[in-house]
Amino acid sequence: MQAFVLRRLVQSVFVLFGVSLFVFGLLQLSGDPVGLLLPPDATAEDRQVLQRQLGLDRPIHVQYLSYAGGVLRGDLGHSLRSGQAALPLVLERLPATAELAVVSMLVAVAVAFPIGIVAALHRGHLVDRIVMAIALFGQSMPVFFLGILLILVFGVRLGWFPVAGRGGLDHIVLPATTLGLYSMARTARLVRSGMLEVMTTEFVTTARAKGLSETTVVFRHVLKNALIPIITVLGLDLATLLGGAIITETIFSWPGLGRLIVYSIEGRDYPVVQAAVFVVALAYILVNLAVDILYAYVNPQVHYD
């Protein structure tokens, strides 16, 4: 296991290098930020002075090497607009996004597992059809439409929850529900399909023949052996949410990483975008590493050479 973790960490260095190179090149193609930072009546000389101050007059490869060297020192540059260090700006928004992502996943898991188990145990019955209809609805509903609908019903009409900003637990209910519905629907379908597949195996038949209770068979043998694909999907969903749920954060004015990335792209604030993408890539790597390690604990048959 230690060799596997070390190998994955080494691979992660190359992944982060590739991500930084790709994002750097893509942002360079998006245009010159100087025009957005200067007033409309700025002269060509003013543009040249600002480009020289920001280091944008240097060749692209020199700019990237300077950026990469800063990354190795823990310096991801400074915002072109505010002049503040880019990494602290990103890390300042990360807790809000992490809070929303974790609560959304908890909502999704708390709902998906019970209804997925019930659907699998009542395959073909009315309960199963209702659960699958809910899952289909959850995967088909656009996030922006669901968010607005929840605001109109529970925020405006009923006045139960705040509709914007970050505060107490009541502030996170609507955005977490909006964000968690899709993951809940997909996870419920995975729980159902995974359990149905495992329930037809010989070891489950043997467990029932031994006289084990149905509860023991379902949770210790069926559900446990169906968890591998479910953990994979949940890990990817969590990593995606940590990357910033842009639409949900915008609808509910949630001060997270997604909104910061959008504003920085609109303003061509390259250092902030690069720092945000770097943090998001690192979150993906760490979450996927945690998922791989979790496999071995869920299923002892999984071994890493």
Q: What is the mean pLDDT of the chain?
A: 78
78 DSSP β-pair partners = 85
pTM above 0.85, yes or no: no
Of all residues in the chain, the percent with pLDDT exceeding 70 is 85
Paired with 152 in beta bridges are none
- Indicate whether 52 belongs to any domain: no
Question: Looking at the domain assignment, is residue 47 inside a domain?
Answer: no
User: Does residue 228 have a pLDDT over 70?
Assistant: yes
CATH of the domain at 291: 1.10.3720.10
For residue 21, is it within any domain?
no
> Is the residue at 51 inside a domain?
no
Q: Does some domain include residue 230?
A: yes
The top-scoring range by mean pLDDT among 33-37, 174-178, 208-212 is 174-178
Q: Is the confidence at residue 302, as pLDDT, over 60?
A: no
266 located within any domain = yes
Q: What is the pLDDT of residues 35-90, one digit of tens each?
A: 666 666 667 776 677 667 666 667 777 777 877 777 777 777 778 777 788 888 88
Total structural domains within the chain? 1
Q: Contact at 8 Å (CB) between 241 and 180?
A: no
88-105: average pLDDT? 86
Q: What is the extent of the structural domain holding 197?
A: 87-298
What b/e string do you get for 27-48 counting C-beta neighbours within 10 Å, with b at 16 or more?
beeeeebbeebeeeeeeeeebe
Of 71-75, 149-153, 180-184, which gets the smallest average pLDDT?
A: 71-75
pLDDT mean over 222-243: 77
**What's the CA gap between 261 and 269, in Å, rounded?**
9
Locate tokens 């720092």: which residue?
A: 275
In 30-85, where does DSSP find H-type helix?
34-37, 44-54, 60-72
pLDDT value for 244: 61
* 224 located within any domain: yes
Query: Who's near 66: CB < 8 A, 6+ residues apart?
Result: 55, 58
In this structure, is residue 279 part of a structural domain?
Answer: yes
- pLDDT at position 290 over 60: yes
Question: pLDDT digit string (tens) for 2-40?
Answer: 666 677 777 777 777 777 777 777 666 666 666 666 666
